[in-house]
Structure 1
Amino acid sequence: MPYIKTSDGINLYYEEAGEGDPIVFVHEFGGDMRGWEPQMRYFSRRNRCIAFNARGYPPSDVPESLDAYSQERAALDIGCVLDELGVQKAHIVGLSMGGFATLHFGLLRPSRALSLVVAGAGYGAEKQHEEYFRGVSNEVAKQFLAQGSGQYSKTYGLAASRIAFLVKDPRGWAEFQAHLGEHSALGAAMTMRGVQARRPSLYDLEDRLKDMQVPTLVIVGDEDDHCLQPGIFLKRTIPASGLAVLPKAGHTLNLEEPALFNQLVAEFHATVGQGRWLPRDPRAVPTQIMKTS
């Protein structure tokens, strides 16, 4: 099985396919690299596609120490994947937890990113819900350990933002839930406590995000309530960013609407490659409603 070793000695399982400009896919908390299969198959026709399982997600290592898990570490692990595979720069595509890691990678290693796709990222970012999010994250960790992934996945998979997926694609949702049930309960708990519950709010990163020049596409579903406002915030804050809102879509965007997701990302990458994904023109002043002089 192919592994890369991180700078702190953790083995991460990965798979790759195709040739061309590299794309690295970073999965969400409730998924793993298998959730990127519709994208691996589509983009590997023209790109070198790499997907990996985060630490805590077998067959990657499952560290037992909470100190091995953090938001910064998750971002650094993306860099370790690039380093170990000899990739100087890549397009980074992340969903939810992976979207946060992708965004932080852009902040920490902007010279290594051709572009960023930040999809479904926002949980815990809203300041009014920050303490609630931390509390419920720790409760989720507790339940994974108490019930095991096989049992608790039946509850976690029915979160409000997953219902759109269940309604439109019951077979796809069932596969997602089955994969979740195969996760390490310890890895899920440690990830929830070490990464999710301790990560900073996106709003606390405003000054750093304003200075980040990496081309960025933000994607959210219109039924993923707690990602909508953070998505608008990211669009208004990151200079070279665009926002796509998918109608009647929840949290698991790339699986719910694979054709639309792939089309948006492919068009974004093509525009970046042509040097035409530009920062907002200073003439487009958002406070100006109509021009009178």
Structure 2
Amino acid sequence: MAIATTSDGVKLHYETAGSGTPIVFVHEFGGNHWSWEPQMSFFTRRHQCLTFAARGFPPSEIPQDVTSYSQARAADDIFDIMDCAGLARAHLVGLSMGGFAVLHAGLRRPERVQSVCAAGAGYGAEKAYEEYFKGISEQVARNFEKQGSELFAKTYAEGASRVQFQEKDPRGWGLFAERLGKHSSKGAANTMRGVQMQRPSLYDLEPEFSNMKPPVLVMVGDEDDHCLQPGIFLKKTVPACGLAVFPKSGHTLNLEEPALFNHLLSEFLAQVESGRWNKRDPRANPAQIMRTD
């Protein structure tokens, strides 16, 4: 348990355990640093693992000004924490909001990113729903402010891509919902307005993604509808990218299907570290249906 001070003076809580090649886990909007407990317990067997509470999420500091929150700032916070922990380079793993953050980190500072695993990254990316997403994000921010986290968590935790977790693991989902209810209402609202509503669509970053340097694994649940197409977009655009689709699964992948998540992530990290996660073979031409000559 430690405190990192970011380059703009915000204090962030982080925890680290284990030894080996570093992995930094970046949580989603609906979670916090505790969301990665199944991964921290598993991967510390072979890696130095670090998880942290994003700005606006207790016990990290809650900046009161919404201008202290942004997508760029979320990516920079990862590197500020790595600096405080003495990590020159690391694998980055993120879910949802954290998935966006690790993708942006991989674009911004590829020399410090050994690989990127982005799970459930896609909300607000689809161009057809871009304005709707901004509007609904503002409503969510207002609900956190007016109702408070404890009350609104009961609604938010039963979203269309969360009920799969509830069905499979009521106990695990109950703990997720309980922790969601302890979020800072101010921090949640500011994160919605400063990060979620303002971040660029993944599709607007196609030129950057087509030249992305770190290897990437994208994970998505097949019932996480607004992440499926963005996941396919990333697979087709990022040079060294794999796509894993979890059957009968929603948004909270690392908690909903921890064994499958850990297995796929382990294989990915092993292939990256052995130099075997490469760009797509040029012979695997997507325009070809069957070879005739």
Q: TM-score range by the shorter chain?
A: over 0.9
Once residues 249 and 241 of structure 2 are traced to their aligned partners in structure 1, the CA distance between those partners, rounded to angstroms, is 21
What is the CA RMSD across the aligned residues, in angstroms? 0.6
Matches within 5 A, 1:6-25: 6-25=6-25
Matched, 1:147 2:116: no
- TM-score, normalised to structure 2, is 0.99
Identity of aligned residues (%): 62
Once residues 17 and 84 of structure 2 are traced to their aligned partners in structure 1, the CA distance between those partners, rounded to angstroms, is 16
Name the structure 1 match of 2:277. 277
Name the structure 1 match of 2:259. 259
Which contiguous aligned blocks of 4+ residues in structure 1 show a shift greater than 6 angstroms?
A: none
Once residues 208 and 104 of structure 1 are traced to their aligned partners in structure 2, the CA distance between those partners, rounded to angstroms, is 10
- TM-score, normalised to structure 1, is 0.99
Q: Secondary structure at the match of 2:135?
A: helix
2:106/2:212 contact within 8 Å kept: yes
What is the CA deviation profile of residues 236-269 of structure 1, one whole-angstrom value per residue up to 9, with x for unaligned ones?
Answer: 0000000000001100000000000000000100
Matched, 1:239 2:205: no
Matched, 1:137 2:133: no
Amino acid at match of 2:42: Y
Matches within 5 A, 1:155-234: 155-234=155-234
Q: Secondary structure at the match of 2:210?
A: helix
Name the structure 1 match of 2:68. 68
Amino acid at match of 2:40: M
Amino acid at match of 1:174: G
* C-alpha deviation, 1:109, in angstroms: 0.6
Name the structure 1 match of 2:100. 100
Give ranges in structure 2 of 5+ residues lacking alignment. none
What is the CA deviation profile of residues 142-189 of structure 1, one whole-angstrom value per residue up to 9, with x for unaligned ones?
Answer: 000000000000000011000100111100100000000000000000
Once residues 4 and 243 of structure 2 are traced to their aligned partners in structure 1, the CA distance between those partners, rounded to angstroms, is 33
Q: Secondary structure at the match of 1:91?
A: strand
* C-alpha deviation, 1:2, in angstroms: 1.3
* C-alpha deviation, 1:291, in angstroms: 1.5
Q: Secondary structure at the match of 1:243?
A: strand
What is the CA deviation profile of residues 63-99 of structure 1, one whole-angstrom value per residue up to 9, with x for unaligned ones?
Answer: 0111100000000000111111110110000000000
2:222/2:246 contact within 8 Å kept: yes
Q: Which moved more, 1:52-61 or 1:278-287?
A: 278-287
Once residues 134 and 289 of structure 2 are traced to their aligned partners in structure 1, the CA distance between those partners, rounded to angstroms, is 39
What is the CA deviation profile of residues 111-144 of structure 1, one whole-angstrom value per residue up to 9, with x for unaligned ones?
Answer: 1011000000000000000000000001000000
Q: Secondary structure at the match of 1:160?
A: coil
Once residues 271 and 2 of structure 1 are traced to their aligned partners in structure 2, the CA distance between those partners, rounded to angstroms, is 31
Once residues 280 and 73 of structure 2 are traced to their aligned partners in structure 1, the CA distance between those partners, rounded to angstroms, is 31
Amino acid at match of 2:242: G
Matches within 5 A, 1:3-42: 3-42=3-42
Q: Secondary structure at the match of 1:152?
A: helix
